[in-house]
């Protein structure tokens, strides 16, 4: 099978290429490869002979002036040129961020309520794709926060190692998605994803943020795994003092969201988590050389 992946220089894209190229012919489409998702002519040529597109490319920084252009117009360009080239399927990586900050359990049927530019752009891109589902098979993945050995999680673990307190209570459900498990879900949808359907992907463990931090501290080799806490506003002020890009109002809001996801829909397709979350935590800390 010939698969084009957008956003191949990103965290997920890099790992996805490593896995899929063992079984398929992979075409990389990324700005770092000199490709432009806003160039329809370039897209048309690149999509010749492609069977499946996995669309990961996106700008995540809310203040980036190109966010809407790339995330929304880029997706519109992609699906229009894919239809012209008779591509069979597009798998789009959306986000559970499209729900905003709801309370309680979340399923594919939960009302969407995006709050920031990134979340809004993801929902708009979903709508653009699903509007074309009669012309091309569309699968949407709404993934929980992706977990793995990247710079974001390295910073989070280092803050835990330095005994930074949580700038919130930490009692929220913290259901995330280990990167390897997300790649397994993508592989499943290539084969079995039903056209026009949206699938939530997250790990099965529904632990609190506090519990996640305690498990992380355990595998960081720390004797005291209990978390200390301060109010959010204290964390924000401290973040400004030390000029931290992690302790911002938006990041603290993001960390404190209730993340309680129902994944029964993708499980019915045959999706099964291969490793326990604690094993993923241990593995990630080893890969980051922090233990």
User: What is the CATH number for 124?
Assistant: 3.40.50.720
pLDDT in tens, 70-112: 999 999 999 999 999 999 999 999 999 999 998 899 999 999 9
- 118, part of any domain: yes
CB 81 within 8 A of CB 115: no
Q: Mean pLDDT, to the nearest integer, of 260-282?
A: 97
Q: Mean pLDDT, to the nearest integer, of 182-199?
A: 98
Q: What's the predicted TM-score (pTM) here?
A: 0.94
Domain that holds residue 99: 2-143
Tokens 């986000």, located at residue: 95
Using left for φ > 0, alpha for ψ between -120 and 50, and beta otherwise, residue 278 falls in: alpha
- 109, part of any domain: yes
- 37, part of any domain: yes
Q: What is the pLDDT of residue 249?
A: 77
Question: In the structure, what pLDDT confidence band is assigned to residue 255 with cuts at 50, 70 and 90?
Answer: confident
- 38, part of any domain: yes
pLDDT in tens, 28-54: 999 999 999 999 999 999 999 999 999
Q: What total of structural domains would you count in the chain?
A: 1
Is the model's pLDDT at 244 over the cut of 90? no
Question: In the structure, what pLDDT confidence band is assigned to residue 236 with cuts at 50, 70 and 90?
Answer: confident
Is the model's pLDDT at 233 over the cut of 80? no
Q: What is the pLDDT of residue 253?
A: 80
What token pair was written down for 1?
């099978």
Q: What is the pLDDT of residue 21?
A: 97
């Amino acid at each position: 099978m010939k698969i084009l992946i957008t956003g191949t220089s990103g965290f997920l894209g890099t790992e996805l290429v490593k896995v899929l190229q063992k079984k398929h012919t992979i075409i990389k489409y990324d700005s770092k490869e000199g490709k432009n998702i806003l160039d329809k002519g370039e897209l048309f040529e690149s999509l010749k002979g492609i069977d499946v597109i996995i669309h990961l490319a996106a700008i995540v920084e809310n203040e980036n002036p190109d966010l809407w252009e790339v995330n929304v117009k880029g997706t519109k360009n992609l699906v229009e040129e894919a239809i012209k080239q008779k591509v069979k399927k597009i798998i789009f990586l959306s986000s559970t961020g499209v729900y905003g900050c709801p309370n309680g359990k979340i399923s594919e049927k939960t009302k969407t309520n995006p709050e920031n530019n990134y979340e809004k752009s993801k929902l708009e891109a979903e709508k653009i794709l699903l509007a074309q589902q009669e012309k091309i098979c569309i699968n949407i993945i709404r993934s929980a926060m992706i977990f793995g050995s990247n710079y974001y999680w390295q910073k989070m673990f280092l803050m835990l190692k330095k005994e930074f307190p949580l700038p919130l209570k930490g009692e929220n459900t913290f259901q995330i998605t280990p990167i390897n498990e997300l790649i397994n879900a993508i592989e499943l949808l290539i084969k079995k994803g039903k056209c026009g359907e949206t699938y939530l992907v997250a790990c099965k463990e529904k632990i609190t943020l506090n519990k996640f931090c305690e498990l992380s501290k355990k595998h960081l080799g720390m004797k005291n795994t209990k978390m200390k806490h301060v109010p959010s506003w204290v964390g924000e002020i401290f973040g400004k003092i030390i000029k931290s890009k992690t302790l911002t109002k938006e990041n603290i809001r993001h960390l404190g969201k209730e993340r309680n996801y129902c994944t029964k829909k993708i499980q019915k397709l045959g999706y099964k988590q291969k490793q326990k979350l604690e094993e993923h935590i241990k593995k990630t800390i080893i890969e980051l050389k922090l233990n």
